[in-house]
Amino acid sequence: MPSSTASSTRLVYSTDAGRVCPDCRQPVLQCACKQRAEVSLSADGIVRVSRETKGRAGKGVTLVKGLGLEGDALTTLAKALKATCGTGGTVKDGVVEVQGDHCDKVLAYLLAKGWKAKRAGG
């Protein structure tokens, strides 16, 4: 029987904490790598608004990337954007997703609030 060493006790799969970050081996909600990546998303200071349907069975969502916000500030902004568009949405990995094609409304809202924003994609 092989001895239990640090290299042979690596966690392969567990449902206790949900998804595990491949880099730091922490649960995704507690991942330190992700927090550093979110801050570096807005390197140029421009918020990009785009529309995407990939992986959503043809349903379009409006994506808002590069905000450089974390936690409650990002959630508050997402709530305001959803209220402006009159629809639902979520925040995933530092990106605000608003259901439907509302690029023009989101862009107008961000520009009115003083953000440096532009339309991205096609």
41-122: CATH, from 3.90.650.10, 1.10.287.3510, 3.30.780.10, 3.40.50.2000: 3.30.780.10
Question: Phi and psi (nearest 5°) for 16?
Answer: -65, -50
Mean per-residue pLDDT for 20-31? 73
Helices of type H across 44-100:
71-85
- Domain positions in the chain are 41-122
**Helical residues (DSSP H) of the chain, grouped into ranges:** 32-40, 71-85, 103-112
Mean pLDDT on 35-43? 49
Query: pTM of the prediction?
Result: 0.64
Please give the backbone phi and psi of residue 72, each rounded to the nearest 5 degrees, phi first: -65, -35
Digit-coded pLDDT (tens) for 51-91 = 988 888 888 999 999 888 888 888 999 999 999 999 999 99
| Residues pairing with 90 in the sheet | 97
Provide the token pair at 113.
Answer: 């609030």
